[in-house]
Structure 1
Amino acid sequence: MSTETKDQPIDETLVIESDSTLVESDVGQTSGAGLSETLGNRGKLRHLSRSTQFILCAALILGLTMTFVGNLVSQSIEDATVQAAAETGARYMENFLEPFVQGLTTSRTLPDETIQAIDKLLSETSLSTHVISVKVWLPDGTIIYSTNKSLIQRSFPTIELEQALTGRTVTALDDEIDDAAGGNIEDAFERSLSSPLYEIYAPLREAGTGRIIAIGEFYETAEALHREINKVRVKVWTIVGAATLSMLLLLFFIVRRGDKIIKEQETALRSRMQEQARLHSNNATLQRKVDAANREYARINELTLRRIGADLHDGPAQLLSLILLRLEELEDSDNGSSREVLDMIRRAGQDALNEVREISLGLALPEVNDLTLHEALVLLAARHEERTETRVDLELDALPGDVPVSHKICIYRFAQEALSNAYIHAGGKGQKLSASYREGLLEVQVEDAGEGISTEKPNVPGRGRTHLGLVGMRYRVESLGGSFNIESAPHAGTRARAQFRI
């Protein structure tokens, strides 16, 4: 034959062309609404369960893969079946035709008796039941025998002939030869039969030398071969479909089980998160209540201290002042022995008055509402220096001006107690008050150069008040969410530090 359309069945060509037309038509119809439909489908897919989404994707991927595999296997089986049948038929036809073409070594035509003998074999033997047409070609493309006598001594170029001249057996399966498939005159007779055929080109060799002297072409009915191929296709597609369906079902149940486990875990996790959120809300509420209680306690404590200071100043201090005034009136008495007693009473009263005034002064807190933290610390250092006649080194960085009143009171009391301890236990040596504010962290520090606080001897005279003061300082600082730290070692001084996140 003169065209390459024989390499695949004509009906497959028609199907491919039809499918291509349908695809182009669908593309043309959906080009306007494709984007909106795609977005709508994506939105619908998101509401499906994970197992359903997975089975859809797996069905698409496995379907395409198994379709490719099925087509490949079916085509391979078909090619192998056709090739095997063609090689068997080619050997049969070689044995049938080669004895009649041995004279072509010296001639370019077949004798009439040879042509009649071939016609008789094709019409009177069993070959007529399955061999439809036979041609004998010279290597140059000239037909020297044909069932259609009008083709004898005519030349037609064919690719199959060139391939057969290399010693190969060339075959092609035609489901139905159609005039529209090609307008070749040399196969017009076969195409007019309108029946499934397969054609075979087989080299015919010279006896003894094996040289190719002609090419035999014959058309054989393909109905039985088609039935066998269709049976194989059905089996292949049944196996492929069953395997695909089994894999999809297995994957679906596995993914569905995992999806159920994930949903159960999500539900449990969501419940735990809600419980955590509820507990966190409760804790935050309790924390706000604790903070409010601490602030209220600090306020009440300061009011109590002020009242005690005022009571000491207005009560015992006034009485001691009156006692001392009356003792001065008795000093004019001439009794010498009573004068010494009066002097002793006067000195004791004066000492008691000084101590009461000092206590009331320490308890009385300045009005920090009207002072910044910087001003309050400067005032505290000045009062401490005046009361103890010692020096306090100040090292105050730029401090925020909007420190809450509760924090200012706490810092004032912390520094006051720390400086008092520095005077009592370090004799006021190396007293230093420093404060800094960096990246939201407010730090206040008091240090001295004394002997340090020994934790191994808490019962040493004078130590009890120190430990009690440290406990009070820690409580004050931590009640407002701050951190308290004290560093001390024998002969290394003491450093008390309070930090607040403001």
Structure 2
Amino acid sequence: MPSTHYRQHGRRSWRSDALVRHWRDRLGMQEYSPVADELVRNEQAGGDSGMFMKFHEFADRWNSQSLAKQFLLTGGLVSFAAMILVGSFVTNLIEAAVTRNSAATTALYVDSVIAPLLPDMQTNEMLGDTATRALDETLGQGALGDRLVSFKLWRRDGTILYSSDKSLVGKRFHPNENLQAALAGRMTAEFHGIGDDVGRITEQASGKPLLDIYNPILQPWSGKVVAVSEFSEIADQFQQSLDQARLHSWLAVALFTLAFFLALSVIVYRGSQTIDSQRQVLRQRVEELSTLLEQNRALHTRVQRASKRAAALNESYLRRIGADLHDGPAQLIALASLRLDGAALTDPANSGPAREHEIVTIKENLDEAMREIRRICKGMILPHIETAALPEILRMAVHAHQHHTGTTVDLFTSGASPQLSASARICIYRFVQEALNNSYRHAGGIGQRVTQTSQNGHIIIEVADRGPGFDPASVRPDGLGLAGLRERVESLGGRFIIESSQDGTKVTMSLEVDEMEPA
């Protein structure tokens, strides 16, 4: 229907059909609907149909994956992003702590060396020549000379009181953030690795990692900041320590994240396996229930058909019994009744011998009617088979047939005798009785044979003869004989087979032993 609609409107395309099918399925529609068509037009008008289809294809593929795979993909990405964020945060904290500790140690050492060389910075705005030479000698030799690349002494107003670069002495600069923090009484430090832009030519030319330290100089008796010393230390060992700390922190975060992710993965995997197994079991149960439902429907249909057939058969049996009674005993009784009202008995002029002859004739008619009634009743009433075993039931059916027809029937039985339900006993007796009657009626009782065997949990009974045979397809489905037998056998879950040729006919029934066990 969508194809016809799009051809009518001149805008048929594979993408339109795909979108129509998608929205039709989502809306539970079996045929074309204007609602689905409107949704397709809205999506195409927005130019997002391709992206929409790709998104839903991706969603379908994603939903088809197991929970374990979904967690591995999603959890892996989230864990990796969390590891990067946490690792960066922890590394920055460790780097700041290591930098501050190293800077504090260096600043304490430098302060202990240069503090005795400085005048009272509260009262002296500039350094004298003596203090300058002392600083030059101290900073130019020994450990400080080897470790410090540059040194500056700042006054509170931003003027450089002393510098290893003499061209900067006396100049005034606007304090940067680190200098302002030091003037506020806080020591600050900043690490510059190899290749970093330091911003100063002298330090940049060293080609080594540097640790810039801004250390406030305090007045001893008041604790007031009177100046700030700024120096750049060569930080080879510090960089090694910092790199090692970074590596250890990243490894710790990575290992913890990996362990956490693996632990959750194991739990999710086990849960996913349980869910998948339960889903598989449920799918199998649904399939089994669907199969059982179909079987129940088929059985229900068969039961309904069998019930209708049983009702029809009962009516046919009643009609046949009525016909037999009408054509046999009823005619004889009617004849006897007419003779009772005849002149031979009612006319006083008739002699004694004539009356005696008429009475004898009436008695013969009534005796014949009684024999016909007994014969009909004998065919309707089963012998006492409630407690009989299978071989005994077969012998009773064969004996009754031989007595009634005067023919010979060969009986062969083999295998164990199972426990039978009452319905199974009746079915077996009626099967042998009706099959032998048909054999006598159509084959003249030639070569009649009854065989009982056991095979694969089934009881198999065959009734055969050597008559001329017939066409099994010609059996009327509404007949009383073979059709009734088939319905009776199949109602117990058995099988009924007719095989006929010019060499004879064989009728076979089989019942499962488990189905025949008494409740």
Residues of 1 paired with 2:87 and 2:291: CA distance?
59
Q: Give the deviation of 1:227 after TM superposition.
A: 0.3
Q: Which residue of 2 aligns with 1:280?
A: 293
Q: Which residue of 1 aligns with 2:387?
A: none
Residues of 1 paired with 2:133 and 2:310: CA distance?
132
Contact 2:119 2:127 in 1 (8 A): no
Q: Which residue of 2 aligns with 1:493?
A: none
The C-alpha deviation readout for 1:69-119, integer Å capped at 9, x for no partner, is: 222222111111111111122222222333333333222111112111101
Q: Give the deviation of 1:241 after TM superposition.
A: 2.6
Residues of 1 paired with 2:282 and 2:53: CA distance?
36
The C-alpha deviation readout for 1:186-235, integer Å capped at 9, x for no partner, is: x4432333321111111112232222211111111122111001112222
Return the match for 1:167 from 185, 190, 195. 185
Contact 2:119 2:131 in 1 (8 A): no
The C-alpha deviation readout for 1:373-414, integer Å capped at 9, x for no partner, is: xxxxxxxxxxxxxxxxxxxxxxxxxxxxxxxxxxxxxxxxxx
Residues of 1 paired with 2:64 and 2:123: CA distance?
83
Q: Which residue of 1 aligns with 2:156?
A: 139
Answering whether residue 167 of structure 2 is matched by residue 154 of structure 1, we say: no
C-alpha RMSD over aligned residues: 4.0
Return the match for 1:113 from 104, 109, 130. 130
What SS does structure 1 have at the residue aligned with 2:92?
A: helix
Q: 1:49 to 1:197 in 2, by over 3 A?
A: same
Residues of 1 paired with 2:162 and 2:53: CA distance?
66
Answering whether residue 89 of structure 2 is matched by residue 72 of structure 1, we say: yes
Contact 2:75 2:261 in 1 (8 A): yes
The residue identity in structure 2 corresponding to 1:226 is: Q
What SS does structure 2 have at the residue aligned with 1:228?
A: helix
Return the match for 2:140 from 103, 123, 127. 123
The residue identity in structure 2 corresponding to 1:110 is: L
The residue identity in structure 2 corresponding to 1:240 is: V
Structure 1: runs of 5 or more not aligned: 1-32, 328-332, 334-502
Return the match for 1:95 from 112, 124, 128. 112
Answering whether residue 259 of structure 2 is matched by residue 242 of structure 1, we say: no
Contact 1:173 1:199 in 2 (8 A): yes
Q: Which residue of 1 aligns with 2:224?
A: 211
Residues of 1 paired with 2:53 and 2:287: CA distance?
38
Residues of 1 paired with 2:249 and 2:258: CA distance?
14
Q: 1:109 to 1:40 in 2, by over 3 A?
A: farther
Contact 1:78 1:229 in 2 (8 A): yes
Q: Give the deviation of 1:265 after TM superposition.
A: 3.6
TM (norm. structure 1) is 0.50
Residues of 1 paired with 2:285 and 2:52: CA distance?
41
Q: 1:275 to 1:37 in 2, by over 3 A?
A: closer
The C-alpha deviation readout for 1:36-57, integer Å capped at 9, x for no partner, is: 8877765655554443332222
What is the correspondence of 1:267-306 to structure 2 with a 5 Å cutoff? 267-301=280-314
The residue identity in structure 1 corresponding to 2:185 is: G
The residue identity in structure 2 corresponding to 1:190 is: E
What SS does structure 2 have at the residue aligned with 1:104?
A: coil
TM (norm. structure 2) is 0.49
Per chain length, whose mean CA-contact separation is higher, i.e. which structure has more relative contact order (CA < 8 Å, sep 6+)? Answer: 1
Contact 1:171 1:198 in 2 (8 A): yes
Return the match for 1:54 from 59, 65, 71. 71
Q: 1:258 to 1:302 in 2, by over 3 A?
A: same
Residues of 1 paired with 2:220 and 2:313: CA distance?
130
The C-alpha deviation readout for 1:287-330, integer Å capped at 9, x for no partner, is: 1111112223334556677888999999989x99x989x99xxx
Contact 1:133 1:218 in 2 (8 A): yes
Residues of 2 paired with 1:311 and 1:36: CA distance?
79
Residues of 1 paired with 2:158 and 2:126: CA distance?
13
Q: 1:119 to 1:44 in 2, by over 3 A?
A: farther
Q: How many residues align?
A: 297
Contact 1:177 1:190 in 2 (8 A): no
Return the match for 1:197 from 206, 210, 213. 210
Q: 1:34 to 1:223 in 2, by over 3 A?
A: farther
Q: 1:35 to 1:222 in 2, by over 3 A?
A: farther
* Same amino acid, percent of matched pairs: 32
Structure 2: runs of 5 or more not aligned: 1-49, 342-346, 348-519
The residue identity in structure 1 corresponding to 2:226 is: I
Residues of 2 paired with 1:263 and 1:136: CA distance?
73
Contact 2:153 2:161 in 1 (8 A): yes
Contact 1:101 1:214 in 2 (8 A): no
Q: Which residue of 2 aligns with 1:228?
A: 241
The residue identity in structure 1 corresponding to 2:210 is: L
What is the correspondence of 1:483-498 to structure 2 with a 5 Å cutoff? none
Q: 1:162 to 1:196 in 2, by over 3 A?
A: same
Contact 1:97 1:216 in 2 (8 A): no
What SS does structure 2 have at the residue aligned with 1:232?
A: helix
